[in-house]
Structure 1
Amino acid sequence: MEFLIKNTQPATISTDCLVIPVFENSKLSDTGKALDDAAKGQLISIIKQGDIAGKPGDTLVLSQLGEIKAKRIMLFGAGELNKKLSEDDLIKSFSAVFSTLNKLNLKQVAIALADIHVAGREKTWVVRIAAQLAGTSQYEFNQLKSTKPKTTKSKYKKLTFLAPESTHKTLSQLTQEAAATIKGINVARDLGNLPGNICTPSYLAKQARQLAKKDEAKLKVTVLDEKEMEELGMGSFLSVSKGSKETGKLIVMEYYGGKKGDKPHVLVGKGITFDSGGISIKPGQGMDEMKFDMCGAASVFGALNSIIELKLPINVVGIVAAAENMPSGNASKPGDIVTSMSGQTIEILNTDAEGRLVLCDALTYAERYEPESVVDIATLTGACVVALGSHASGMYSNNDKLAKALQKASDESYDRIWHMPLWDAYQKQLDSNFADMANIGGPEAGSVTAACFLARYTKKYHWAHLDIAGTAWLKGDKKGATGRPVSLLVQYLINQSK
């Protein structure tokens, strides 16, 4: 989608659809009143008929009125006039707007947001959220259907924001970042939505090599196979991949957009392309959703797509630990003990706690880059879903500065995270009678003890862990990958590049 910024009066812009807010009790802002004057009073007359109440989520599409040049006018509810909206009400309003626009036959749309005020937010943030929702709302995944959905309507590809000249430079930068972020989000959604028989570790490796072709001068890709991982001593990773005929891959994508010698920021993604649970097999109901267990890896691909698009002046390394977790005669058994790349031994009490087993070796591999920061992203625990639901990802960190930087990026992108405890008191739950540690810590605080497990492999650098088990995909009739937390990761890297 192309975003434009224009300093044009709403009544005079030629567009397929002009979008403006209307407020409760049939109230119009100054912008709305000026439009009503151009419409010879027709606008307020229609509003007073009661077809739109002005509440967030309300929309009403009108045909051309009076001297307004737009072919259509969309009114959307914005709550009480002169009262600031909450962030969630803004999301509700914009979601309704873009859902309605996508059902119309349009080529271009203009939107006037000068009268929208959100508590604790700058006007530029409102435009940023609108741009991102507009782009992501048009996402579809139908490439595997033999018959594509038929439609006579074309989704608009050009969105113009009407704004004062003084804001154009800032908004132009924000919308450029939004456009790149949308592409990254949709890359992650595509990978997440692909079934496990297509999106295998080898497929992800192929996608990494394809990505390198976008900027071969700056992006270097290395794929380690199981023999190479064995030589490095990655016994923990290999204990997961050995149960499948699909061989595991450690995929390394090195982006050098910054100065030579600058320490890179490393993103590590859990890439379990299908998780049956292994010998500790999962219940059958809902197991199809375990194709989403590689959404952490998908977010790394998405973020790298975005930073290449933006040509960010920063060094970033993406590491994807890709494997299938399957039951077979070769699969790990509960009670097996393996040696990780770090030399620490692990008693596998539950083969369904496999994500941490591939991640710990990937996190040890990250040491060689002497990184500025390391962030791992993983659909790691059902316990995180119990704790935080689908609204926020859980964040754990061994460094307060890094945690605050991620929290800032979360706030700016509205891709929400919640800072969880990483206290030593939880570590004893991982004690094993037979190895240095067990791979699970019992029924209490499962998300915390999983993070504590990973923390044992991250003592040589500043590290954060994002548990996205509750946010990476939706269930029910809207089932599909969300692309989270690409927006957060991209904003974090943008901030670091400055």
Structure 2
Amino acid sequence: MTVNIKSIAQPELHKSDCLIVPVYTDGKLSSAAQSLDHAGHNNLTQLLKRGDISGKAGEALLLPHVTGIKAQRLLLLGCGDNSEISPADVKKIINTLLEQLNNAHIKSATLLSESLSVAGRSPEWLSEQIARAIALSSYSYNATLSKKPTKPSFKTLTLAQKPNAKLKSAAATGSAVGLGMNVARELGNLPANICTPSYLAKQAKNLARNNSALKTTILEEKKMRELGMGSLLSVTAGSSEPAKFIIMEYQGAAKKQQPHILVGKGITFDTGGISLKPGAKMDEMKYDMCGAASVMGAMNTLVELALPINVVAIIAAAENMPNGNATKPGDVVTSMSGQTIEVLNTDAEGRLVLCDALTYAERFKPQSVIDIATLTGACVVALGSHATGLYSNQDDFAAELIAAGEASGDRAWHMPLWDEYQPQLNSNFADIANIGGPEAGSVTAACFLSRFTKAYRWAHMDIAGTAWVSGPKKGATGRPVALLSQYLINKSLINKSQG
């Protein structure tokens, strides 16, 4: 799917499978829409007067034939207030547009977008959002279906406005981010008998193939033991699937430049281990690797855009299963950092793989480290499905990520990481316990990770509420690929300006 940008002086003479005309609640028509109305003998004005469409955001009316214009069809698209569309309504408007086009089996269309104005946002932002949505709409899961779903018919959208380099770049960015999100969605949606730690490792290698800027290294369990990753290995002890420690190094800038690091939790299936989860919805624990999937998606976007930045992705991939070798509640393990951990609950396993990955990250002397994990149900209770929980050992770093989330529409919320919570992790038998009791579960999980991140600028993103949706539309969302990508884009722009 592609997005083109083209000036169209006379929309009534423009040939298209479908011409999309924004209409607003005040009934006023843009200059382009007025030209169409005049060519069609005031048919648009009559439709609005009759109330066939009110202009409310998310409304649509498809006209299969309109006299006086060259386009085969006309789609009236409700966009709300004529003065400025709210950013919250943009997604609703774009989704309605794509749904109408696909339902009508339209392959290409032109949107009279020059009149569209989004409150507090630039035309480039809107171009990026449209391109991302189009890329996202191209995805449908079919890997394990005997009858493959029909692919969306819609292929090309032309934005009718004066083209410039910024608009074209924004559209390219939106497409790349959407494709990265689709990579994350596909990995998340695959069943755990396919998407194993070994499968993740293979996909990481495939991404690096034929790309000189990217190098992938896979550490096996033997090497993990040599490095002292006793915490990570305690999680995989009960599984017949070997753990994989995946390192992807992208070099888009000078070698001397310190990298930014993304660390993904890759628990490809989480039974809870000996602290076994309830059976209801346990199938959704295939999504417990969505942190790793989002890292893979962000790296895909990075490669697509060839950003001038150095990035290292680290994925700690393992299964959490119960058998005779599995770690037991009360066991004490030694992490790569040398800190001992009392495993009070084997279902708090994400932090056990992440802490060794975060220790490993120190060797790269990073500018910043972000770990992404479906870590706690407590975060879902706190924030629901709208915002990712964000913790950081530096408030200015958290502010950067919050801003990247606002800009991309992939929002996060800054949560507390106060010293007052740390005593909940005290243990009589180890340096630290892996759970902190029923209170503030997401906070104490972040507090646990903070014990392993004192050497660098660090943020933790708890995506347990945002990584997938349940119910009839169950599936991975691809979040927070957009936020991560925006953060890396922002950093690459700084590199470019200083270069």
> Which residue is equivalent to 1:198?
194
2:291 to 296, 299, 308: 296
Paired with 1:391 and 1:139, the residues of 2 have a C-alpha distance of 22
Paired with 1:125 and 1:149, the residues of 2 have a C-alpha distance of 32
> Which residue is equivalent to 2:125?
125
Q: Which stretch shows the higher mean deviation, 105-114 or 449-458?
A: 105-114
Q: Deviations over 1:74-114 (max 9, x none)?
A: 111112333x2222122212221112212222221111222
How much has 1:206 moved relative to structure 2?
Answer: 0.7
1:43 counterpart SS class: helix
Write out aligned runs for 1:238-257 (5 A): 238-257=233-252
The alignment status of 1:237 with 2:232, answered yes or no, reads: yes
Q: Structure 2: any 5+ residue segments left out of the alignment? A: 494-499
The alignment status of 1:177 with 2:173, answered yes or no, reads: yes
> Which residue is equivalent to 2:496?
none
Paired with 1:150 and 1:443, the residues of 2 have a C-alpha distance of 46
Q: Is the 8 A contact 2:131 2:172 kept in 1?
A: no
1:477 counterpart SS class: coil
> Which residue is equivalent to 1:361?
356
Cα RMSD over matched residues? 1.3
- The one-letter code of the counterpart of 1:14 is K
The alignment status of 1:59 with 2:60, answered yes or no, reads: yes
Q: Is the 8 A contact 1:113 1:127 kept in 2?
A: no
1:396 counterpart SS class: strand
> Which residue is equivalent to 1:428?
423
The alignment status of 1:371 with 2:372, answered yes or no, reads: no
> Which residue is equivalent to 2:90?
90
Write out aligned runs for 1:477-492 (5 A): 477-492=472-487
1:48 counterpart SS class: helix
> Which residue is equivalent to 1:6?
6
> Which residue is equivalent to 1:161?
159
The alignment status of 1:211 with 2:207, answered yes or no, reads: yes
Q: Is the 8 A contact 1:43 1:65 kept in 2?
A: no
- The one-letter code of the counterpart of 1:134 is I
1:220 counterpart SS class: strand
2:248 counterpart SS class: strand
Paired with 1:227 and 1:337, the residues of 2 have a C-alpha distance of 20
Paired with 2:440 and 2:393, the residues of 1 have a C-alpha distance of 18
Q: Is the 8 A contact 1:24 1:54 kept in 2?
A: yes
Paired with 2:60 and 2:405, the residues of 1 have a C-alpha distance of 29
2:145 counterpart SS class: coil
Q: Which structure 1 residue ranges, 4+ long, deviate > 3 Å from structure 2? A: none
1:16 counterpart SS class: coil
- The one-letter code of the counterpart of 2:287 is F
How much has 1:150 moved relative to structure 2?
Answer: 5.0
1:333 counterpart SS class: coil
Q: Which stretch shows the higher mean deviation, 185-194 or 118-127?
A: 118-127
> Which residue is equivalent to 1:147?
147
Q: Which stretch shows the higher mean deviation, 112-121 or 432-441?
A: 112-121
- The one-letter code of the counterpart of 2:85 is L
Q: Is the 8 A contact 1:257 1:311 kept in 2?
A: yes
> Which residue is equivalent to 2:69?
68
How much has 1:117 moved relative to structure 2?
Answer: 2.4
The alignment status of 1:40 with 2:14, answered yes or no, reads: no
Q: Is the 8 A contact 1:430 1:441 kept in 2?
A: yes
Q: Structure 1: any 5+ residue segments left out of the alignment? A: none
- The one-letter code of the counterpart of 2:303 is I
- The one-letter code of the counterpart of 1:34 is S
Q: Which stretch shows the higher mean deviation, 224-233 or 395-404?
A: 395-404
- The one-letter code of the counterpart of 1:106 is I
- The one-letter code of the counterpart of 1:116 is L
How much has 1:124 moved relative to structure 2?
Answer: 2.2
Q: Against the structure 1 CA distance between its residues 244 and 181, is the aligned structure 2 distance closer, same or farther, given a 3 Å change threshold?
A: same
> Which residue is equivalent to 1:49?
50
- The one-letter code of the counterpart of 2:125 is W
Q: Is the 8 A contact 1:393 1:418 kept in 2?
A: yes
2:472 counterpart SS class: helix
Q: Which stretch shows the higher mean deviation, 120-129 or 367-376?
A: 120-129
TM-score by length of 1: 0.96
How much has 1:25 moved relative to structure 2?
Answer: 5.3
> Which residue is equivalent to 1:114?
114
- The one-letter code of the counterpart of 1:474 is V
How much has 1:46 moved relative to structure 2?
Answer: 2.7
Paired with 1:214 and 1:45, the residues of 2 have a C-alpha distance of 57
Q: Which stretch shows the higher mean deviation, 357-366 or 99-108?
A: 99-108
> Which residue is equivalent to 1:78?
79
How much has 1:241 moved relative to structure 2?
Answer: 0.6
Q: Is the 8 A contact 1:299 1:484 kept in 2?
A: yes
Paired with 1:220 and 1:200, the residues of 2 have a C-alpha distance of 21
Q: Is the 8 A contact 2:2 2:156 kept in 1?
A: yes
How much has 1:274 moved relative to structure 2?
Answer: 0.3
1:279 to 257, 267, 274: 274
The alignment status of 1:382 with 2:377, answered yes or no, reads: yes
Q: Is the 8 A contact 1:138 1:155 kept in 2?
A: no
1:323 counterpart SS class: strand
